[in-house]
Amino acid sequence: MQLVRRGQAPAFEVIYERHSRAAFSLAYRMAGSRGVAEDVVQEAFLSIWRSGARYERARGSVRTWVLGIVHHRAIDALRRSIVHEKRRASDEGLEETFETGERTDVEAARHEEAATVRRALQHLPADQSQVIELAYFGGFTHTEIAEMLATPVGTVKGRMRLGLEKMRHALGSGQVSLG
């Protein structure tokens, strides 16, 4: 990432190649529309291009950093309300696709990691997975979720924390790597 400084477009291109698929997948999951997902990914990567030197290795992998930026950008888009109607009206299926060719092993490993995380989510009590999904993928604040579910904010926050704690135990330390 030290190479992703201003003026070093080829280094940036490598970062895009490595992480754009995960970035687009997340944005698509949140937005529910290819068009909005493309806008979100474009915003996120241009933000990365313009601030690439700020990546802090100590805080996690490049992939985690990139996905964190995509997540924040997608939430911004959701909260600007540009997405809500589109994602409800979207008739696009979330069709999973996998790359073939030389990186098959990497994709296969990621596919397995994805399955592990999905299992961890599915094994949470429904009220905990629900608030986590509404918050993380839906972009809703805890107060919005509390209103939606007619549940006190404190309860919603408690479920979020409990759910994450259980997920952490389920995933185990280091079992699921995002590098």
Partner 1 sequence: MNDHAQWNDTVGAYLLGALPPDELERFEAHLAECVTCRHDVEELRSAADALPMSVPSVAPPPALKGRIMAVVESEAELLAAAGRRADEPPETRASAPATRRRRRGLGGWFLRPGVALACAAVLLVAGGLAGALLTGGEDTRTVVAQTEVSGADVRLELEDGRGMLVARGMPAPPDGRVYQVWVKRPGQDPEPTSALWTVRDDGSADVAVPGPLDGVEAVLVTDEPQGGSDAPTRPPVISAPLA
Positions in 68-127 near partner 1 (CB under 8 A)? 68-72, 75-76, 80, 94-99, 107, 110-111, 113-114, 116-118, 120-121
CB 82 within 8 A of CB 89: no
Residue 172: which region, alpha, beta or left (left: phi > 0; alpha: psi -120 to 50)? left
Interaction between residue 152 and partner 1 (CB under 8 A): no
- Alpha-helix runs per DSSP H in the chain: 9-31, 34-51, 62-79, 84-89, 104-122, 126-136, 142-149, 153-171
| Helix 104-122 with 126-136: angle, nearest 10 deg | 130
Site for partner 1 in 28-57 (CB under 8 A): 28-29, 34, 37-39, 41-43, 45-47, 49-51, 53-54, 56
Site for partner 1 in 12-31 (CB under 8 A): 12-13, 16, 20-26, 28-29
For the bound state, the minimum distance from the C-beta of residue 125 to partner 1, rounded and expressed in Å, comes to 14
For the bound state, the minimum distance from the C-beta of residue 88 to partner 1, rounded and expressed in Å, comes to 18
Provide the residue type at 177 as one letter. S
For the bound state, the minimum distance from the C-beta of residue 144 to partner 1, rounded and expressed in Å, comes to 9
Rounded to whole angstroms, the Cα distance separating 132 from 163 reads 7
CB 106 within 8 A of CB 63: no
For the bound state, the minimum distance from the C-beta of residue 122 to partner 1, rounded and expressed in Å, comes to 9
| Site residue total, partner 1 (CB under 8 A) | 88
